[in-house]
Structure 1
Amino acid sequence: MTFVEKPYLSECRLDLWLWAARFYKTRSLAASNIKKGLVRLSGKMVTKPASPVCIGSLLVIEQDLVVKKILVEEIAVKRVSFEKARNFYRVISKDSSEDATFFQAKTRYKPDKKARRSLKALKEKLHFLSDN
């Protein structure tokens, strides 16, 4: 039996690469975030998961209110361990998690009776001040 070496890959699908590089847990999650416009390829908004990514491409990925700029250094079509997957890319810049928590939306809740009364009083006070 003769050993046949696989040909060198010059490009692959964007959703496949994001999944193999372990940015997303599933390939369908990567595809849905690409369709939502949360991933930009070389400065352009892409909405097709089958968009080709090649070595040297710049990716901007928005995950959980954190924006990561990634430079593709190796093409991968097979999911590997996290240690090996880190060789597929180089992080150019990453927003700090402190900034993300600052911009994170507060959870919505229904105000109780006391909170409703205080909101009503505040609105009436502001309305009264704006009339003068």
Structure 2
Amino acid sequence: MTEACRIDVWLWRARFVKTRGLAADLVERGAVRLTHQGREARLDKPSRSVHPGDALTFVIHGRATSVRVEALGERRGPPEEARALYSEITS
């Protein structure tokens, strides 16, 4: 079985949002796009899974962010630990 994590949990652990509830709202609004194995999809449910290697694009506070999931994390740790969960994708 491959490693996976709920998108709302991952966004919270990576410190893009302050609470899981805010992460769930972001996903439910259709503001998160996931590219998994070359297929892009707009996520609609917070229970959708992300895997290491997936790419995410979302808008928070009017700023578009594109990141690659590097790790899933075990907890919502300090900022240094959160930054290790992703790498930014530059165009």
Q: Which residue of 1 aligns with 2:75?
A: 78
Secondary structure of 2:75's counterpart equals coil
How is 1:13-28 mapped onto 2 (pairs within 5 angstroms)?
13-28=6-21
Deviation per residue, 1:31-81 (Å, 9 max, x gap): 001000111111210110000100000000111111111000001241000
2:66 maps to a residue whose letter is K
Please tell me whether Structure 1 or Structure 2 has the larger radius of gyration of its CA atoms: 1
Q: Counterpart amino acid of 2:70?
A: E
Query: What TM-score comes out, normalization by structure 1 length?
Result: 0.62
Counterpart Cα distance in 2 of 1:11 and 1:77: 12
Q: Cα–Cα, structure 1 residues 32 and 77, in superposed 2: closer, same or farther, change >3 Å?
A: farther
Runs of 4+ in 1 over 2 A off after TM superposition: none
Counterparts in 2 of 1:31-110, with a 5 A limit?
A: 31-42=24-35, 43-93=40-90
What is the TM-score normalised by the length of structure 2? Answer: 0.89
Report the structure, 1 or 2, having the larger strand content: 2
Q: Identity of aligned pairs, percent? A: 37
**Residues matched between the structures, number:** 86
Which of 3, 23, 30 lines up with 1:10 in the alignment? 3
**Bigger relative contact order, structure 1 or 2 (CA pairs below 8 A, ≥6 apart):** 2
- The structure richer in helix per residue is 1
